[in-house]
Structure 1
C-alpha cells in the first residue's frame, strides 16, 4: 500500500508530524513557504555570542512532549523564570516587585486569580470578554484589573475586550517554572530538519488543497511555475489566518469552515535590544508586566555569559498597531520608562508577526463561547486531510511550542491508524 504524505508547513507541528511518519516508514514531503524551517520559532544571533528569540521562547515544566524531543536530540533546557517570584509590575507609573507589592495589591491579585481558577474548575466559557468579566467583578481592586488587562496582551497577544474570559482562565494551567532551550528555540527545529533532510522543500508555498476520491493534492508555487503534487494524506499545519486565503477544495463540515474562516489570531511585535551591560539587574527585573507601549519586558540572556545582555520586549493587541513602524524606538522608550537614563542599545532586531505573510498573527485565541462550541465537536480531519498546528492542540497548550508538537504527534497517529484500516 502506498504511504505518501504531504506536510504543509515546516513549523514545529509539521516537522513533528513528518519526523514521526518517516520513522514509521512513510514517504513524506514537507513544503514550506519561508526560506527557513521553524515557522513562528525564530532565534536571532547578536555579537558577543549571544542570541534571543523573535518568536516562541518559553517551555513550561509540564511541556513533556517538547522536553522528550529535546532529550532525544541532546538539547539542554535551562531556567528562564520562576512564577510568581520573578513577576514585576509597572502600573500607574510605579514599579513593583513581588517583595515591594503592598499587601492590598497582593490580596487583590490572589482574589482575581482565584476567581479565574473557579471558571477553569467549572470548565466555564461565559458569554463575556475578559474586559466585561473584570467590569462585573466589583470586588476586584483596580490594580489587579490593570495587571490582568496587561497580561491579556502579554500572554495571548489579544485585547481584553476581545478574548473570552473562559479561554484566558487557562493561563493558570502552566507550570511554576519557565525554561528555554539552550542555544535557542531554533535548535529544536533544526534538529528535526537535520533528520528529515531532502524531505523538506523551502520557498514553496501552496495555493490550493484538493481531493479526488482517495487521492489528495496540493498546488505549489515553484521557480518553474505552479505544479501539483499528489499523496494519500495531507497534514496541513499552517495557521488558519493564512489557510483561509487559499483555495480549499475538500469536503469540510460547516463547523470546520466556520472555524477556519473566523478563528482569531493575536497580533504582536517582538523587539530585542542588546545593551553593553545588564543595568536592569540592579532593580531585580524578572518578567515585567507594564502599562507602556510594550506590555512585557524580560531578559533573554539570563544564563548567557558576559556583561552584555539582551532585553526582549513584546507589544500586542491594538497597542501594537501604534508600535509597528517605530518598534525599536518605542522599545527603547519603554526601557527608559522602566529604567530612567538607560543607555542606547548596541544592536536590535524586531519582527511584526501580524505583518508576516506566512503567519498573519502570532497565535490563536478564543472569543466568548467559541472555546466550548468549537472545541467540543470540531474534527481535525476531512477526508485525506489532517489539520495540525498549535490552534488544534488541547486548549491549555494553544499558543505554545508544546501545542504545535502535540498536534503534530496527533496527526501522525491519525494517519498511522488510517493506514492500518
Structure 2
C-alpha cells in the first residue's frame, strides 16, 4: 500500500494503500455524520464478526441505539490492522505496524478521534530535508520543496521537466480525481473506462513517459485497476495535513473496545454462518470448544482472504464468492529499527525518504523525546511480497541493506529490529483491498450488498478502502442497514 502523492506544493508523499480521498462522503455533509443512530422498531440481536474498526464502529453505534450486540473476534485483541508496536522498544518509543496516517479530510475517523478525546499531531516533521532515492541516486530537498528532477538518471521529456512532479501528477490524474470526489454513485460512469486499464496504461494515455510513471511512484500498483488507484489517491488528495494519534493509533480501537467491554468475545474465530427464515447463527470455536450464537442480523467485517475460509449456508452469491477468491490484497510490510542515536540529524535530514527500491523510510519517533530513535522501512508491492517470503532474520538483513543505501550508518546503530508482514497475518491475508483491472465494476457494489440477514462491512467494502476512514464508514453504513432492516 502506498502510492506516492504529489501535494499542491509539489512535494512527494507516499500514502499507504492503507490509504487517500476528497472531502465528499457519499454527498453527506459532516453534520450528518455526527448524528446518533436512532433505533427503528424493537431492539435487534446483532452478531458482529470481527473487532477491527469496522466491527467496533458498527457495534458501538448499534449499542448506542439500544440493540443487543455481540462481537466475535478471532484474536486476543481488538483493532485488526491498526496495530502499534511498543514492547520491547525502549524509552517509551512506539511505532505503527499498520494504519499510520490520518488525513485531515477523513471525517469518519476524525468524528471518533474527537468524540474519544484523542489528540493528534502531524505525521511528518516540519524540519530537516526529505530524501528521494531513485536508481541509486539520493536527492534531498527542503521541507515542502520538490526534488530536483534533473539530478535523477531518468529520461524526462522537456515538457515533463518544465511541469515538475506536481505538474506531472496533475496531468496524470487531476481530471480523474475531480470526478472521483463525488462518490454518490460508484463506480462513476465518467471513469468506467479507467477500470479497464492498468495505472501505467492510464498514465501513458495522458501523454506521460515511463520516466514520469517511475518518478510518480506508481510501480506498486502493477496490475491494479487505474480506477482503483484513482480512488485510493483521491481519498487524501485534498487533505492539507496528515496526522497521527498521540501515543499510538491503536488508542482509537482501544477507545471503542473499552466502551464495549462486555460485548466482545475474544479468541473466537467464526467458521460457519447459517441463515434461517427468522435469523442467523454463527458457529465459532473458543478454547477448543465449538459454540454457537444466534441473532436477528449479522454483520460480517472480515477481509476477503478470511471470508473465503468461512462456510455459509446458504452459500454466498456466486459474485461475492468470486470476489473473496479473486480480489488481490496489496502487500505491505514494515520493518522497525530502534537505533541508539538519530544519526541522520547530523546531516540535516528528516529521516523520511521516498525510494524506488522498497517504498518509504520513516523516522517514526521524530516527535518523541530522547536520544534514541526509530527508522521504519515501509515495504510496498513487489518488495513486500519478496520480503514476506523470507525468514525473519533474512528480512531484517535485507531491510538493513536497503536502508543503508539511503541513510548509510544504520547497521552500527541498531539496538533492536523486528518486522510485520501483513501477507503473513492469518486474519488479514494482506494489507488492503487492491482490485485489478475490471474488478471494481464487477465486485465493488457486490462486496457490500446484504444477503438475507447478513450484512457486510470492512474497508474492502468502502470507496475509502485502505484507510481507517473506510473501515469506520463501512461499519457505520452496516449499522444503519441493520437498524432499518
With structure 1 as the length reference, what TM-score do the two structures score?
0.90
* 1:164 lines up with 2:225 in the alignment: yes
Q: Is 1:386 aligned with 2:455? A: yes
After TM superposition, the structure 1 = structure 2 runs for residues 132-281 of structure 1, keeping only pairs within 5 Å, are 132-134=201-203, 139-140=208-209, 142=211, 144-148=212-216, 150-153=217-220, 160-170=221-231, 171-174=233-236, 175-250=239-314, 252-281=316-345
**Alignment check: 8 A CA contact 1:363 1:399 kept:** yes
* Distance (Å, rounded) in 2 between the aligned partners of 1:251 and 1:35: 29
Change (3 A) 1:119 1:221: same
Match status 1:36 vs 2:77: yes
Count residues in correspondence: 406
* Aligned equivalent of 2:105: 62
Which residue does the alignment assign to 1:81? 124
Q: How does 1:313-328 map to 2 (within 5 A)?
A: 313-324=377-388, 325=391, 326-328=394-396
1:396-415 equivalences under 5 Å are: 397-415=464-482
Q: Which residue of 2 aligns with 1:334?
A: 402
Structure 1 Cα separation of the partners of residues 175 and 245 of structure 2: 33
Residue 141 of structure 1, CA deviation: 5.7
* Contact 1:111-1:140 at 8 Å conserved across structures: no
- Secondary structure in structure 2 of the residue aligned to 1:382: coil
Distance 1:106 1:278, change over 3 A: farther
> Equivalents in 2 of 1:316, 1:137: separation in Å?
25
Q: Which moved more, 1:10-19 or 1:125-134?
A: 125-134
Closer, same or farther: CA 105–309 of 1 in aligned 2, 3 Å = farther
Name the stretch that deviates more: 111-120 or 90-99: 111-120
Counterpart Cα distance in 1 of 2:71 and 2:226:
37
- 8 A Cα contact 2:333 2:421, kept in partner: yes
How big is the shift at 1:287?
Answer: 4.1
Displacement after TM superposition at 1:211 (Å): 0.2
CA distance in 1, matches of 2:136, 2:129: 19
**SS of the residue 1:258 aligns to:** helix
Q: For residues 224 and 186 of structure 1, do their structure 2 counterparts lie closer, same or farther at Cα, with a shift above 3 Å needed?
A: same
Say whether the 8 Å CA contact 2:344–2:351 is kept in structure 1: no
The separation in 2 between residues aligned to 1:196 and 1:162, in whole angstroms, is 40
Structure 1 CA distance, aligned partners of 2:370 and 2:452?
54
Which region of structure 1 is more displaced relative to structure 2, 177-186 or 88-97?
A: 88-97
1:18 aligns with 2:83: no
CA drift of 1:117 comes to: 2.2
CA distance in 2 between counterparts of 1:67 and 1:327 reads 35
What's the CA shift for 1:68? 1.4
* Compared CA separation, residues 322 and 377, structure 1 to 2 (3 A): closer
Cα distance change on mapping 1:369 and 1:74 into 2, 3 Å: same
| TM-score, length-scaled by structure 2 | 0.78
Measure how far apart 1:15 and its partner are: 0.7
SS in 1 for 2:215: helix
Structure 2 distance, partners of 1:13, 1:226, is 25
Offset, 1:414? 0.9
Structure 1 residue 53: Cα displacement: 0.8
Task: Give SS of 1:404's match.
Answer: helix
In the alignment, the residues of structure 1 paired with residue 208 and residue 477 of structure 2 have an alpha-carbon distance, to the nearest angstrom, of 43
Maintained 8 Å contact 1:51/1:301: yes
Which range moved further: 317-326 or 379-388? 317-326
**Separation (CA, whole Å) in 2 of partners of 1:78 and 1:2:** 40
Residue in structure 2 matched with residue 301 of structure 1 by the alignment: 365
Q: Does 1:102 align with 2:171?
A: no
Quick one: structure 1 residues 32 and 376, their matched pair in 2 at CA, closer, same or farther if it must change by over 3 Å? closer
- The answer to whether the 8 Å contact 1:147/1:289 transfers is no
